[in-house]
Amino acid sequence: MKDALKAAQDAIDQVVLGKSHAVKLALTCILAKGHLLIEDLPGMGKTTLSQALASVLGMSYQRIQFTSDLLPGDILGTSVFDRNSGQFVFHPGPIFAELVLADEINRATPKSQSALLEAMEEGQVTVDGATRPLPDPFFVIATQNPVSQGGTFALPESQLDRFLMRLSLGYPSEKAEKSLLLGDDRRARLDRVEAILGHDELRRLQALVPQVNASEALVDYILRLVNHTRNSDVCAWGLSPRASLGLLAAARAWALLEQRSYVIPEDVQAVLPSVVSHRLRAANDPAGHGGDSLALWLLNEVPAV
Amino acid sequence: MSAAGLIPRNSLAWLLTAQVVVLLPHLPRLPWWVALLWVGCALWRVQIQRMRWHSPGILLKSAALVAILLGVFLTQGTLLGLDATVMFLLLLFMLKLLEMHNPRDALVVVYLGFFILATAFLFDQGIPLTLYQCGSLLVLVAALVGLQQSAGRNDPARALRIGGVMLLQAIPLLLVLFIFFPRLEPLWSVNMPGGSSKTGLSDTMSPADIANLARSPELAFRASFDGEIPPLSTLYWRALTLSRFDGRSWSQDRLLNNLPALPLDTSGESVEYRVVAGASGQHWVYSLRGATTDNPALRRMHDFNLQSIAPLNSTFGYRARSYVNVQMQAEPLSKLERARQLELPQQGDPRAREWAQALREQHPDDGDLVQAVLGYFNQQPFFYTLKPTPLGEHSNDEFLFDTRRGFCEHYAGAMTFVLRAAGIPSRIVAGYQGGEVNEQGGYVLVHQFDAHVWVEVWLAGRGWVSVDPTFQVAPERIEQGLEEAVRGEGSFLEDSYLSGSRYRGVTWLNDARLAWDNVNYQWQLRVLNFKGEEQMGLFRRWLGTADWQRVGMVVLGLAGGIMLLQAMWWLRPQRMNGSAQQRVWKRLDQRLARLRLQALPGEGPRAWQQRLQVALPAQRSVIDSFFDEFVRQSYAATDSASKADQQQLQQALRALFKVIPRKRPASASYLLQDGPLSSRDKSL
């Protein structure tokens, strides 16, 4: 089954070229049952990555393009009067998919954003008084564009905290881009991707994650990291317990992807930048985009053993 | 010439800083071109460092040597003596900058700096300079540390920090040496610095000498008493007696001075006191009437004064006991002495001689005659002033009968003249009268403006008796001091605007002045004067003996003990904190630091392992087995490590220690600049 994980990873790498680390992190995120926020410029392969993930994992896929006039109903679905039956019939919104891509989440109004974020948190939606469960597995990939911020509603810290990881794909290497240009159409490649992991297998893998051994020494390391952000004047505020839980879950999932039954400090170090960077803000940086360098600073400051 | 670049930049910066700091206290005493020369030398040295200029050749260096010798001679007028030699040393110290080709030369400059730091104390031993020199010492040590640092290091504050820690560690040793190290008298005699033109009494007295002295606010000496301070009006501090008169000025009688000291009756009432005198360059010291002392550096003189065997070239403290009511030389004077104490010039002052004869006829008793002269001063319109009318040829005549305006020396001089003319042996005593009480310190400050002269008369059966004609004219001078006595005239310290003594009326200013003076006095008493008898007394109190052998053993024992304690602290075992694995990790980290293979900040075990595999390929299997065991115990095991596990890890560590090289191979280039994090970044 662990080989299936490797195969899934390879299959996505076939589509998203030269981004194996980001792909691995995205898989880690799914295994740790967390949601993913991708922050990058347009055209960097955010959609491709999410589509490839959906295909490989055999998930149903929906995309919601967030705009400023998007209403909660457009996400969750509405009840429409059916003349034939004389009753209101619920038409589920795009949220009722296993993998939802919320594109440019920061373009929507806070009201619509919170509809999505509530669904992410609760695993269910309530429309017209009726509570409807979301499918399982349920995984949200939200994207936002860090550059053009005009007319957007930046996610507040409390909502950023709902995402287990924040990734940034970045430009591909020259080699990867060359093979991208020389190769097939991406659509054609995507179509060729087959489901490698079924829902049952994914669920079983997700259940394996908490069983990965995190020793006392390792937990101490995570505590050192978290406490350092809380006690240092460099950070505006420290990491929350949700963040340390997320860090441990992500490190376990990463260890699982590394085919190991225990977590070592390197696993924590691998996932830490994407897990904590959107949760940290430098004390002297009111804009709050220095999270990545803070994560590196943190790793360099705290002894691993 | 390129060898000049061998001194690290950081070290040179420290060296130049240290030079400035060390030279600064000397500069006010030196001509302006000395500072200019230093700037030139420093600039040249910096240019050598930047490889812009060459070092000077042998010809230029020889010329510079001749030039500075000439400069010293032209400035000081001699090549010998303290001022000239110190100046010469300073100049060589500067020129050495240009001759500094390698770190060894730089070391010489720093060592010279320590020496020059010490020479500053030949000129001044006050608290401000001492504090400043503590700072200089720190900078010099920092320069020394800087010279030992590798060329690549570019952190000047580090040298300062290390130097500071070193000096702090030296403080216990400093205290031991301060207390126990013998203060050797210098093997050679050092002349007074600064051309010996000190304000103070001199061994001749012409009219207006003391009046000039009374314009000076400088401190003459301080005295503290065992017990209560006697009333100021009784404090007549004797320094020297003047017995020879040449018609104009009074001077010491060397012949009488060299007669043996006379016995003193030590049964009466006495006061004991301690005096700390400033450098005067003279032999005499200050004491009250009938003084004795145990101090071997002092001797009692024939005129019942105390004298120092060596001139007072630096601050000098001593204890003395005075039997204030004792009779001095009650037995009849020898023929020679009587003759010399009556001697007057053949000519001059006819009116005074006439008056003396008239008095003699009127008062056959010597005591009555003395009273008559005092009465004359009291009843006639004499005026006590700091600005007496200049006197002509017959100075005593003019003063006694015409001008009648004078300072103490006029009264004492005229009275002694008249008494001698009347056939009564008499002499002038010069010294200080009164002083200022420092309540905080409980001592008396005596300034130059307290300088005073009075008269001593020899009366049969009573010996030498002091009489003060000034008291008849201006009793407030004796009772309240000079300031009160000349208040109407407004001439008290009228030229010394900056003198604190002038502003005694301002309470807070006066308090601050006295407080600062007290600090200085305690410094002189307890620190500078801690030598000779004081030191011996302490040894006797503490050790029961002042035997140098015993003291030496104590010093060695204490110094050794202190160093041992410091070494123990330094070599103390690392505290046992953290888990067993963490301690093993730390030991490996320290061991590998010698090979510069220590764990990078935040580096995890596997990343370190990989780095070590690359660096030490031959030891790979041992490295792997250690790290496998480490990771297994720390992370893979579900329960905490057992004793057996810990021993296994220790064994793996020992095995690793055995195979890794002791020192970093010279050819090693395996120091990875990239940390574990940057390598991960590439994959991101």
| Tens of pLDDT, residue by residue, chain A (305 residues) | 667 888 888 888 888 888 889 999 999 999 999 999 998 888 888 888 888 888 898 888 899 999 989 998 889 888 888 888 888 888 888 999 999 999 888 889 988 888 888 888 888 888 888 888 888 889 999 988 877 777 788 888 878 888 999 988 888 888 888 888 888 777 777 788 888 888 888 889 999 999 999 998 999 999 999 999 998 888 888 899 999 999 999 999 999 999 999 999 999 999 999 999 888 888 877 766 667 788 888 999 898 88
- Evaluate whether residue B159 is within a structural domain: no
What pLDDT, on a 0 to 100 scale, did the predictor assign at position B496?
A: 67
Alpha-carbon gap, residue B133 to B24, rounded angstroms: 10
In chain A, residues with a C-beta closer than 8 Å to the C-beta of B585 are 305
Per-residue buried b or exposed e for B543-564, using 16+ beta carbons within 10 Å of the residue's own CB:
eeebeeeebeebbeebeeebee
Is B468 noted as a catalytic residue in this protein?
A: yes
Q: Are residues B133 and B219 in the same domain?
A: no
Rounded CA separation B304/B283 (Å): 14
Tokens 């220095």, residue located: A290
Residue A85 within a domain: yes
Whether residue A179 lies inside any domain: the answer is yes
The answer to the question of residue A232 being in a domain is: yes
**Is residue A252 within 8 Å of A209, Cβ to Cβ?**
yes
What is the reported pLDDT for B658?
Answer: 87
- The count of domains in chain B is 3
Residues of the domain holding B25: 2-149
Look at B604 and A265 and tell me if their CB atoms are within 8 Å.
Answer: yes
Shortest Cα distance, chain B CAs vs residue A106, angstroms: 25
Strands B383-384 and B405-406 turn out to be parallel
Cα(B591)–Cα(B583) distance, integer angstroms: 12
Are B10 and B119 in a shared domain? yes
Domain co-membership, A195 together with A263: no
Interface of A with B in 184-243 (CB under 8 A): 213, 215-218
Burial of A37 (0-12, 13-18, 19+ CB in 10 A): buried
For residue A269, the chain B residues in CB contact (below 8 A) are 602, 604, 676-677, 680
Which residues on neighbouring strands pair with residue B436, listed in sequence order? B445
Q: Are A68 and A154 members of one domain? A: yes
Dihedral of alpha carbons B623, B626, B631, B632, sign: positive
Query: Chain A partners of B637 at a C-beta cutoff of 8 Å?
Result: 215
Query: Position A57: which residue type?
Result: L
The complex's ipTM?
0.87
CA dist., res. A143 & res. A221, Å (int): 31
Residues of A in contact with B640 (CB under 8 A): 216
- The angle that helices B9-23 and B82-95 make with each other, rounded to 10 degrees, is 160
**Is B408 among the catalytic positions?**
yes
- In angstroms, rounded to a whole number, what is the distance separating the alpha carbons of residues A114 and B507? 76
Query: Does A261 touch chain B if contact means CB atoms closer than 8 Å?
Result: yes
User: Given B83, B408, B410, B517, which residue is catalytic?
Assistant: B408
pLDDT at A253: 95
Chain B residue with minimum CA distance to A296: B677
Q: Which two tokens stand for residue A67?
A: 């705009």
pLDDT score of B332: 85
Task: Name which of A211, A222, A249, A244 is nearest A33 in CA terms.
Answer: A249
The rounded Cα B615 to chain-centroid distance in angstroms is: 59
CA atoms within 13 A on the CB side of B490: 0
**Do residues A15 and A66 share a domain?**
yes
List the single residue in A21, A262, A269 with the smallest CB-CB distance to B636: A262
pLDDT digits (tens, 9 = 90+) for A118-167: 888 888 888 888 888 888 889 999 988 877 777 788 888 878 888 999 98
Q: What is the CATH number of the domain that holds A274?
A: 1.10.8.80
Is residue B173 within 8 A of residue B563, CB to CB? The reply is yes
Alpha carbon of B631: minimum distance to chain A alpha carbons (Å): 8
Structural domain span for residue A264: 212-301
Residues A140 and A241 in one domain: no
Distance CA A261, CA B631 (A): 12
Among B586, B588, B632, B634, the strongest candidate for a mutation testing the A interface, having the largest count of A CBs within 10 A, is B634
CA dist., res. A182 & res. A178, Å (int):
6
Does B488 map to a domain?
yes
Encoding tokens for residue B503? Answer: 């502003």
The CA distance from A166 to A168, in Å, is 7
Q: What are phi and psi of A91, to 5 degrees?
A: -100, 105
Q: For residues B236 and B453, what is the distance between their CA atoms, to the nearest angstrom?
A: 9
In a domain, A88, yes or no: yes
Report the domain count for chain A.
2
3 state SS for B224-258: EECCCCCCHHHCEEEEEEECEECCCCEECCHHHHC
Residue A273's pLDDT is 92
CB–CB contact A299 B602 (8 Å): yes
In a domain, residue B590? The reply is yes
The single-letter code of the amino acid at B149 is Q
**Sign of the Cα pseudo-torsion (B284, B289, B290, B296, in order):** negative
Q: What is the pLDDT of residue B189?
A: 52
- In-domain check, residue B306: yes
**3-state SS, one letter per residue, for B581-646:** HHHHHHHHHHHHHCCCCCCCCCCCHHHHHHHHHHHCHHHHHHHHHHHHHHHHHHHHCCCCCCHHHH
B279 and B396 in one domain? yes
Q: Residues B5-42: pLDDT tens digits?
A: 467 777 888 889 999 999 999 988 888 899 999 999 99
Task: Please tell me the distance from the alpha carbon of residue A205 to that of residue A256, in angstroms, as a whole number.
Answer: 9
| Nearest of B243, B259, B333 to residue B302 by alpha carbon | B259
DSSP B444: E
HEC assignment per residue over B29-76: HCCHHHHHHHHHHHHHHHHHHCCCCCCCCHHHHHHHHHHHHHHHHHHH
Contact A264 B638 (CB under 8 A): no
Given A167, A202, A237, the domain boundary residue is A202
Residue with tokens 């008290």: B492
**Mean pLDDT (chain A, rounded):** 87
Residues 6+ apart with CB under 8 A from B390: B208
Whether residue A271 is contained in a domain is answered as: yes
Same domain, A100 and A170: yes
Are A88 and A37 found together in one domain?
Answer: yes
- For residue B92, what pLDDT is reported? 92
Residue B243 lies in a domain: yes
Looking at the structure, tell me whether residues A150 and A225 fall in a common domain: no
Statement to judge: residues A27 and A75 lie in one domain: yes
Which pLDDT score, from 0 to 100, does residue B476 have?
A: 83
> Does B224 lie in the same domain as B139?
no
**Residue ending a domain, choose from A147, A173, A202:** A202
- A165 and A86 within one domain: yes
Last residue of a domain, one of B149, B164, B196: B149
State the CATH number of the domain containing residue A99: 3.40.50.300
Mark yes or no for CB contact B604/A20 under 8 Å: no
- Ranges in chain B, pLDDT < 70: 1-6, 150-154, 184-199, 490, 495-500, 546, 573-577, 664-684
Residue A234 and residue A197 share a domain: no
- What pLDDT, on a 0 to 100 scale, did the predictor assign at position A250? 95
> Of B83, B349, B468, B517, which one is the catalytic site residue?
B468
Cα R_g (chain A), whole angstroms: 20
Grouping H, G, I as helix, E, B as strand and the rest as coil, residue A272 is: helix
Asked whether residue B556 is domain-assigned, the answer is no
Any chain A CB within 8 A of the CB of B638? yes
Contact flag B602-A302 (C-beta cutoff 8 Å): yes
Report CB contact under 8 Å: B634, A21: no
- Between vectors from CA B583 to CA B582 and to CA B587, what angle results, nearest 5°? 115
Q: Is A52 on the interface with B (CB under 8 A)?
A: no
B410 is catalytic: no
The pLDDT assigned to B349 comes to: 87
CB-CB neighbors (< 8 A) of B588 in chain A: none
pLDDT of residue B495: 67
Residue A276 lies inside a defined structural domain of this protein: yes
Are B500 and B641 found together in one domain? no
> Which of B475, B508, B541 finishes a domain?
B508
Is B604 in CB contact (< 8 Å) with chain A? yes
In a domain, B566, yes or no: no
